[in-house]
A and B are shown apart, each in its own frame.
Chain A
Amino acid sequence: MMDNILTNIIFLPLFAAVVLGVFRADTKYLKIGAMLSSVATLFLVLFMTYNFDPHAGMQFIKISPWIQNAGISYFVGVDALSLVILLLISLLMPPLYIYMYHEKRKGYWYNMMLLQTGVSGAVLSLDMMLFYLFWETMLLPIFVMIGKYGNGLHRYNSMKIVLMTILGSMSMLFSIMYIGYIYFETHGIWSFALNDLASIDFNAQTSIWLASGFLLAFAIKIPLVGFHTWMAPAYGSAPTPAVVIMSSIMAKLGIYGIWRFGYSLFDSTLSYYAPTIITLALIGLLYYAIRAITELHLRRMFAYSSGSHLSLIALGLFLGNIYAWSGSLYFIATHALASAGMFIVIGLTYKRFNTVYLDSLGGIASKAPRFSFFFAFFALSIAGLPGTGGFVAELLIIIGAFKVNFYIGVATATTMLSAMVYIFWMLQRALFGTANNEREYEDLSFREMIMLLPLVVLLIATGVMPSFFMQIFDPFLVSTLEAFTLNSGGVK
């Protein structure tokens, strides 16, 4: 059971999709099948988490040769870093399927299942080629979902996200292949396994070039400022479940990639890039937040919001001390929960009022109090409301920034202000004011509450007892940081 558990987790959704597809299942069975696959996966992940040992490093490893001539193997394993993201994706899928309850377009369901396999595979892969494969697999369903089921200029926008992302992927692929080639030259055999490649000592110049290939891919995925023009159009056009996955999970994979591959392959070279990325992240933090103030389209507004917070996460990562790192990793989790909740309620807003433009909303609070409560709760938790996990994460990143130096600390602390202006103005225009009497204000149904409650509970739990959740990854961070400081003398 434990031996193949990761494989089961990765391929269960895909397997379900294939079975359902072969039997050409009705929408009714498709729904049940998808839901069952996601719940089963969630149970597997929770079971594995229960058996997970935070102190043991990489575990549940499975290696089997795959394309032997090229040294590519099926090599998966899980440590605290991948566990966090794996937990998130498996937690988010069931609520998303509940959200899609009335969805009749079959392709939509298949794409979601494929997406889950892609994401889980990407975070669990320890072979670079395997990682690349899953990395691209994630993009396919997003392309289809925006292009086929999106709204607005969806074809143009889906093309844009795919082309920009592929640009990054290609540069990453070149780096991967070149690293593999260097390994072949020194060892005489091919291998793409991460632990083999990590043993190579590059000369400084090569290392900088190779790292830039990876960093470009991750910078576009996050996106750092300057690489971001795909973001708002794609978020704006994408259907809600796709947006949730993009903002909560896929953007975080950019950070994950730097953490996993950047620090294993080129730890000292990252110090070379650190000042640039810290600067970009600090600019992004404010740039996106200021941009969001005048945005009227809710999904686009929270696209910018997401960009702003991901800049903060990237910043925390490159600050390179235990406070900032814990904050970043914790923020990955709590921001995923908050932004998933937010994009779902925005989706519910669209279902009710057929619009997500702020200037045509308003007055919801007086007619639909439950709806407003959830809406405001998620918005406030994005703004870092104390008592929710985001607050803890931001606090830690700010402290980490002050540890590096005072000025970076001050610039980082602006996160206290940046989200607030657009969030509170948004709440005012979306929820408050007088209600439009010709409009029907339907409050949340039981099904919708069930879908949102786990997110609310988790957000509060992560805010009230963070040390309970952090114990999963604390040893991982401490040991990684030690190794990193040993190799490069820390980020300067």
Chain B
Amino acid sequence: MLSLIVVIPFLSALLMALVYLADTKADRYKFYTIVGVGAPMIITVLSLMVGLELVSGEETIHNTLINWLSVGELRIEIAFMADRLSAVMIAFITFIATLIHIYAAGYMRGDEAYGKFFSYFNLFMGSMLLLVLADNPIMMFIGWELVGLSSYLLIGFYHTKSSNITAANKAFILNRVGDFGFIMGISLLFISLEGTGFTFESIKANIAMIDNETLSLIGLLLFVGAMGKSAQIPLYVWLPDAMAGPTPVSALIHAATMVTAGVYMVARYSFLYIEIPDIGLFIAYIGAASALFAAIIASYQSDIKKILAYSTMSQLGYMFIAVGLGAYSSGIFHVFTHAFFKALLFMGAGAIIIALHHEQNIFKMGKLKERLPLVYITMFIATLAISGIPPFAGFFSKDAILVNAFASGHHLIWAIGSFTAFLTAFYMFRLLFTVFHADSSDTKELASLPNSMTRPLVVLAIGSATVGFLGVNEAYGGSSWFNNFLVLPDSAYHISHTTEYLLGALNVSLGLIGMFLAYKMFAINKLEVKEDALYKKVIINKFYIDELYVFFIVKPLLFLSRLIANVLDPKVFDAFINLNVWTYRKSAVIFARLQNGKVRYYALYILIGVSSMSYYMLFKLGLM
């Protein structure tokens, strides 16, 4: 059953690709929709069955497909393993992906490459499921890489515009920089444990064999991979540009697949990271920095999708704070709740974009409250959820992370997290109020939205409002069911209920202040972003990080390439070869001069010849 969950999306992608390539012009809307949307529906059911099996008591489920590679001690099977962690992941991935697929069937209708889109879409999902269900690091890495590839294909889906391809390239290249770290981590892990097997279970059993220093290095290298995939500082610059893809792709990247992979990876290797708290702390600080940094930028963006993109990066920062501090379950819980409201936000944004005939600037929108009531209500719920207002889903997961940060004693991280919570509420409500409340002179007819686009919004809104209850902790009268179900090796931080209430109250009030501030500033008038002060200019230009990349990496590479082309190859290596040629030519000229046809010269040569011969015979051989 597990292998079916992975194989079905791949097979459906292959089938659609073949049908598409056989006749690229044909309009096969029905076929692609049935195959493309059917596949995630089937695997959602299968995933739930896996989940039920685990709830009813199974520890783990294994499933081996074939023997993949067997070289020396490296024996790798295409095999899958579901424990509770991966079961949770596949449950929400498949469920949310199904909704996004349904939505995409409406969003992409009429696109001439509809079949290609769904083929890529299912490839994306298959890769993500391979990543999650892999039973060994190598298979996980293959999924990891394929996720990068599918994101490249989907971000560059509208390929006639060159900037989209640049965005796609950027995504893939930065992901590969992460993968570069990741594969080094895996290789080092394998070499350190050579001969003891290389599945997650055997690694876990033998982890004590590795000395602490190597283990820290491995943990760090693996995390470099997570930085790329989950868009953390400094490898995040691809994520905002990834908005070049169609909106369902953004929803899929940000909610169900891809960016959550990094957090999942750290949780998967929790048995390793628990041994190296220093690296964990580093991860937490990277997370905190990313959370704050992205939230600041988000507050000054005017493109609706980019605001959401930065907000994802910021929320991922929270998740890394959690897993870095060893609160793995809280991190995964936030991944889980975030998937619902972030998918909803993106799909709502997509609906607005379609309704407004591909307008993405929030300051050109306004007064949509009455004109798009359903989108308004659902997005309002999602915004409340992401801002951490109880009882919506985001409150419980974010609060758990901040409480853990406080309890762990790293108060700086906690402070950054709380301040970011305020910023989150601010920029999210800034978006909401500007788009739905503020005045607008725009009276253009709205494009109609198909049911397939609006119905999933309702489902997700219900989810965003309620899934948080799965993980209500003891302080709020729950039993932390979610955390207990996961059975991850969480660091236990103890803190009194009173402190917990205080922290919760603080976060909620910070959220409300952010909301209020946004209402004052944006609900009535439009306060467009102006580059009137230096700090604003720096923030609007995203701290010039892209430019730094160009200056320190791209430019030197191009320079080096030209140096090789114009200097090293022709003037150094080839010069040596050509020197030989030149020597031959010159010596030919010299020898040609000897043979000049003049008798008196030849007489001279004879004289020289005879004299040397006589000399040789006389003195060397002693003939006389």
**A positions within 8 Å CB-CB of B:** 160, 164, 226, 228-229, 232, 287, 290-295, 321-323, 326, 363, 365-366, 369-370, 373, 380, 385-387, 391-392, 395-396, 398-399, 401-403, 406, 409-410, 413-414, 416-417, 420-421, 424-425, 427-428, 431-435, 465-467, 470, 474
Contacts of A321 in B (CB 8 A): 72
A76 to B206, CA, bound (A): 49
Per-residue CB contact flags for chain B residues 471-502 toward chain A (1 = under 8 Å, else 0) read 00000000000000000000000000000000
Given contacts A402-B184, A410-B184, 9 further A-B contacts (CB under 8 A): A160-B577, A294-B565, A323-B71, A366-B160, A386-B145, A402-B187, A402-B191, A466-B68, A474-B70
B578 CB, min distance to chain A CBs, angstroms: 9
Given A293-B557, A395-B138, answer yes or no on A416-B68 (Cβ-Cβ < 8 Å): no
A228 to B565, CA, bound (A): 13
A398 to B185, CA, bound (A): 11
Beta-carbon contact of A323 and B146 below 8 Å: no
| Interface residue? B183 (CB, 8 A) | yes
Given A386-B142, A386-B145, answer yes or no on A323-B74 (Cβ-Cβ < 8 Å): yes
B579 CB, min distance to chain A CBs, angstroms: 12
| Interface residue? B558 (CB, 8 A) | yes
Beta-carbon contact of A424 and B24 below 8 Å: no
A434 to B184, CA, bound (A): 39
Contacts of A365 in B (CB 8 A): 159-160
A98 to B145, CA, bound (A): 34
Beta-carbon contact of B184 and A433 below 8 Å: no
Contact of A409 among B70, B149, B179, B188 (CB under 8 A): B188
B111 CB, min distance to chain A CBs, angstroms: 13
Contacts of A431 in B (CB 8 A): 159
Interface segment among B83-91, B100-108, B165-173, B454-462: the answer is B165-173
Given A409-B188, A421-B173, A428-B166, answer yes or no on A392-B69 (Cβ-Cβ < 8 Å): yes
Interface of chain B residues 59 through 75 with chain A (CB within 8 A) = 66-72, 74
Given A228-B573, A229-B569, A465-B68, answer yes or no on A290-B561 (Cβ-Cβ < 8 Å): yes
Contacts of B565 in A (CB 8 A): 291, 294-295
Per-residue CB contact flags for chain B residues 138-177 toward chain A (1 = under 8 Å, else 0) read 1001100110010010001001111001100100110011
A408 CB, min distance to chain B CBs, angstroms: 11
Beta-carbon contact of A226 and B159 below 8 Å: no
Beta-carbon contact of B557 and A432 below 8 Å: no
B265 CB, min distance to chain A CBs, angstroms: 16
Beta-carbon contact of B179 and A433 below 8 Å: no
A414 to B181, CA, bound (A): 10
Which of A226, A229, A433, A470 lies at the interface centre, i.e. has the most chain B CB atoms within 10 A of its CB?
Answer: A229
Beta-carbon contact of B162 and A433 below 8 Å: yes
Beta-carbon contact of B564 and A467 below 8 Å: no
Beta-carbon contact of B159 and A366 below 8 Å: yes
Given A290-B560, A413-B183, A414-B180, answer yes or no on A373-B573 (Cβ-Cβ < 8 Å): no
Contacts of A229 in B (CB 8 A): 569, 573-574, 577
A366 to B188, CA, bound (A): 43
Beta-carbon contact of B184 and A399 below 8 Å: no
Contacts of B176 in A (CB 8 A): 416-417, 420
Beta-carbon contact of A287 and B564 below 8 Å: yes
| Interface residue? B371 (CB, 8 A) | no
Beta-carbon contact of A417 and B177 below 8 Å: yes
Beta-carbon contact of A396 and B71 below 8 Å: yes
Contact of B71 among A326, A401, A424 (CB under 8 A): A326
A13 to B177, CA, bound (A): 47
Beta-carbon contact of B187 and A398 below 8 Å: yes
Q: Who on chain B is nearest to A415 by CB?
A: B180
Q: Who on chain A is nearest to B67 by CB?
A: A467
Tally of chain B residues near chain A (CB < 8 A): 51
A3 CB, min distance to chain B CBs, angstroms: 34
Beta-carbon contact of A387 and B160 below 8 Å: no
In the A-B complex, the 5 residue pairs with the smallest Cβ-Cβ separation, listed nearest first, are A322-B72, A294-B561, A402-B187, A432-B159, A386-B145
A467 to B68, CA, bound (A): 6
Contacts of B74 in A (CB 8 A): 323, 396, 399
| Interface residue? B21 (CB, 8 A) | yes
Beta-carbon contact of B184 and A467 below 8 Å: no
Contacts of A409 in B (CB 8 A): 184, 187-188
Contact of A291 among B180, B184, B564 (CB under 8 A): B564
Given A294-B561, A402-B188, answer yes or no on A425-B169 (Cβ-Cβ < 8 Å): yes
Beta-carbon contact of B173 and A395 below 8 Å: no
Per-residue CB contact flags for chain B residues 30-69 toward chain A (1 = under 8 Å, else 0) read 0000000000000000000000000000000000001111
Contacts of A402 in B (CB 8 A): 184, 187-188, 190-191
A295 to B565, CA, bound (A): 8
Contacts of B156 in A (CB 8 A): 432
Contacts of B183 in A (CB 8 A): 395, 398, 413, 416
Q: List 24 A-B contacts (CB under 8 A).
A: A160-B577, A232-B569, A290-B557, A293-B561, A294-B561, A321-B72, A365-B159, A365-B160, A366-B159, A370-B24, A386-B141, A386-B145, A391-B145, A395-B183, A396-B74, A399-B187, A399-B191, A402-B191, A403-B191, A416-B180, A420-B176, A428-B162, A428-B165, A470-B70
Given A290-B557, A366-B160, A435-B160, answer yes or no on A466-B191 (Cβ-Cβ < 8 Å): no
Beta-carbon contact of A424 and B172 below 8 Å: yes
A164 to B581, CA, bound (A): 11
Beta-carbon contact of B569 and A294 below 8 Å: no
Q: Who on chain B is nearest to A369 by CB?
A: B24
Contact of B160 among A292, A386, A424, A433 (CB under 8 A): A433
Beta-carbon contact of A466 and B564 below 8 Å: no
A341 to B141, CA, bound (A): 26
Contacts of A363 in B (CB 8 A): 160
Beta-carbon contact of B187 and A432 below 8 Å: no
Contacts of B560 in A (CB 8 A): 290
| Interface residue? B410 (CB, 8 A) | no
A294 to B20, CA, bound (A): 34
A322 to B74, CA, bound (A): 10
A394 CB, min distance to chain B CBs, angstroms: 9
Which of B141, B169, B561 lies at the interface centre, i.e. has the most chain A CB atoms within 10 A of its CB?
Answer: B561
A409 to B24, CA, bound (A): 44
A416 CB, min distance to chain B CBs, angstroms: 5
Beta-carbon contact of B561 and A291 below 8 Å: yes
| Interface residue? B28 (CB, 8 A) | no
| Interface residue? B562 (CB, 8 A) | yes
A410 to B220, CA, bound (A): 14
B477 CB, min distance to chain A CBs, angstroms: 47
Beta-carbon contact of B184 and A413 below 8 Å: yes
Which of B145, B173, B184, B194 lies at the interface centre, i.e. has the most chain A CB atoms within 10 A of its CB?
Answer: B184
Contact of B149 among A293, A380, A432, A433 (CB under 8 A): A380
A48 CB, min distance to chain B CBs, angstroms: 25
A401 CB, min distance to chain B CBs, angstroms: 8
Contacts of A434 in B (CB 8 A): 160
Q: Who on chain A is nearest to B573 by CB?
A: A229
Contacts of B190 in A (CB 8 A): 399, 402
A410 to B183, CA, bound (A): 10
Contacts of A366 in B (CB 8 A): 159-160
Contacts of A467 in B (CB 8 A): 67-70
A401 to B191, CA, bound (A): 10
B152 CB, min distance to chain A CBs, angstroms: 8
Beta-carbon contact of A417 and B24 below 8 Å: no
Beta-carbon contact of B577 and A323 below 8 Å: no
A353 CB, min distance to chain B CBs, angstroms: 18
Contact of A387 among B21, B146, B562 (CB under 8 A): B146
A433 to B569, CA, bound (A): 32
A435 to B145, CA, bound (A): 30
Q: Who on chain A is nearest to B149 by CB?
A: A385
Contacts of B160 in A (CB 8 A): 363, 365-366, 432-435
Q: Who on chain A is nearest to B130 by CB?
A: A386
Q: Who on chain B is nearest to A291 by CB?
A: B564
Beta-carbon contact of A470 and B69 below 8 Å: yes
Contacts of A421 in B (CB 8 A): 173, 557
A295 to B569, CA, bound (A): 13
Contact of A432 among B24, B165, B561 (CB under 8 A): B165
